[in-house]
Amino acid sequence: MQKEKFTVAVIVGSLRAASLSLKMADFLCNQQYRLLALQIIPINDLSLYNEDRETAQPPRAWQKFRDCIREQDAVLFITPEYNRSVPAALKNAVDIGSAPHGHNVFRNKPAAIISLSPGKMGAFGANHHLRQSLVFLDMPTLQQPEAYIGNSEALFTTAGTMTDGHTRDYLAGFMDAFAGWISRHTQAKPGR
């Protein structure tokens, strides 16, 4: 069957209900893209990775997460920065998806990273620590354009509407580049 759009798993690096990263994810999921269909894959229920639990019956939440990622064509990470690195919840999700050895569900899936922070540096540290893991997971990760979104508290209304036109335009270009990147790095071609 012909594919209409690339499916993209959106993984949000913050667990809090009022998360700005989640607002960003919701905003992007609500846009209409010609080639992309975005879906948030929750990581809130993932218990901490422990190799002892990697039995014939690993935790159900781990299995569900792995199955969800396996089904998607690509992955978009949207993350804040904790102590100049990736929040533990996001690293945990990355670890769970990468295991057990030889069954890395992220392998070969094209990826992109949007990092954001209320500060000026746009969570550059988190963005690049995450990139380090994605190299090892063998995920071709979009290099340009980059998305370090600073001053993120001023971006949204409480209802989640994005108020800043410049950022909106930048993200539209970023997602367009991501669609091209996925197209170049995947076998499945939508709309053909």
Ligand X SMILES: Cc1cc2nc3c(=O)[nH]c(=O)nc-3n(C[C@H](O)[C@H](O)[C@H](O)COP(=O)(O)O)c2cc1C
Give me the residues that bind ligand X (CB under 6 A), please: 14, 16, 19-21, 80-84, 117-119, 123
Q: How far is the CB of 80 from ligand X (least distance, A)?
A: 3
Write down the least CB distance from residue 38 to ligand X, Å: 17
- Complex with ligand X: residue 19 or 92, whichever CB lies closer: 19
Q: How far is the CB of 68 from ligand X (least distance, A)?
A: 21
Give 58 or 119: the residue with its C-beta nearer to ligand X. 119
Q: Which residues, 6 or more positions from 28, have their beta carbon under 8 angstroms from its beta carbon? A: 10, 38, 76, 78, 171, 175
CB of 71 to ligand X, least distance (A): 25
- Residue 139 amino acid letter: M
For the chain, the C-alpha Rg in angstroms (whole number) is 16
Could you give the 3-state DSSP secondary structure of residue 78? strand
Which CB, 26 or 73, lies closer to ligand X? 26
- Rounded Cα distance, 187 and 28, in Å: 24
CB of 147 to ligand X, least distance (A): 14
3-state secondary structure of 76: strand
**Cβ within 8 Å of residue 107, ≥6 positions away:** 137, 138, 139
Q: How many distinct helices (H) and strands (E) make up the chain? A: 5, 5
For ligand X, give the closer residue by CB, 116 or 179: 116
Q: Return the SS3 of 175.
A: helix
**Rounded to an integer, what distance in angstroms lies between the CA atom of residue 114 and that of residue 171?**
9
Of residues 15 and 61, the one with the C-beta less far from ligand X: 15
**Which position's Cβ is nearest ligand X?**
80
With respect to ligand X, which residue has the nearer C-beta, 36 or 89?
A: 89
Task: Supply the minimum distance, in Å, between the C-beta of residue 117 and ligand X.
Answer: 3
Cα 107 to Cα 73: distance, rounded to the nearest angstrom: 11
Question: Phi and psi at residue 11, in whole multiples of 5°?
Answer: -110, 120
